[in-house]
């Protein structure tokens, strides 16, 4: 079924480990985004991508790495996880269509012990 999916939905890891969160969309949208949602902070942009091989930092990019070798995939890697990266992570995509609407995935709940 078409849409935007994230995997895994839940992840528990330990401090210092590398973790990769996956995001896949089937609409061939040009734009993709990663946000984190924390109590008291709302959603904050981590990284975004305007097209394959084009990425740029958002508000809270330290400690995260992204890649976009294919239009449909936008993985987010935590190179050395820290407890402060415990959060819910949302991926979104946009085709720049009506009102530049962003469509969100279901989220990944990450816990760093």
User: Which CB, 1 or 40, lies closer to other proteins?
Assistant: 40
The least CB distance from residue 53 to other proteins, in Å, is 14
Enumerate binding residues for other proteins (CB under 8 A): 31, 33, 35, 40-45, 48, 50, 56, 58-59, 90, 92, 99-107
Euclidean distance between CA atoms 56 and 51, whole angstroms: 11
The least CB distance from residue 16 to other proteins, in Å, is 29
Q: How far is CA 97 from the centre of its chain?
A: 21
If DSSP states are collapsed to H, E and C, what string results for 88-100?
A: EEEEEEECCCHHH
The least CB distance from residue 104 to other proteins, in Å, is 4
- Residue 62: DSSP 8-state: T
User: Which CB, 33 or 74, lies closer to other proteins?
Assistant: 33
Q: How far is CA 105 from the centre of its chain?
A: 9
């Amino acid at each position: 079924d078409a849409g935007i999916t994230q995997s895994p939905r839940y992840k528990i890891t330990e401090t210092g480990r590398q973790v990769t969160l996956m995001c896949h969309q089937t609409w061939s949208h040009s734009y993709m985004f990663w946000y984190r949602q924390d109590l008291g902070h709302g959603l904050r942009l981590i990284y975004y991508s305007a097209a394959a091989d084009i990425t740029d930092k958002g508000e809270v990019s330290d400690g995260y790495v992204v890649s976009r070798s294919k239009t449909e995939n936008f993985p987010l890697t935590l190179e050395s996880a820290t407890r402060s990266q415990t959060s819910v992570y949302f991926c979104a995509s946009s085709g720049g269509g009506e009102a530049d609407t962003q469509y969100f995935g279901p989220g990944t709940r990450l816990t760093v012990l």
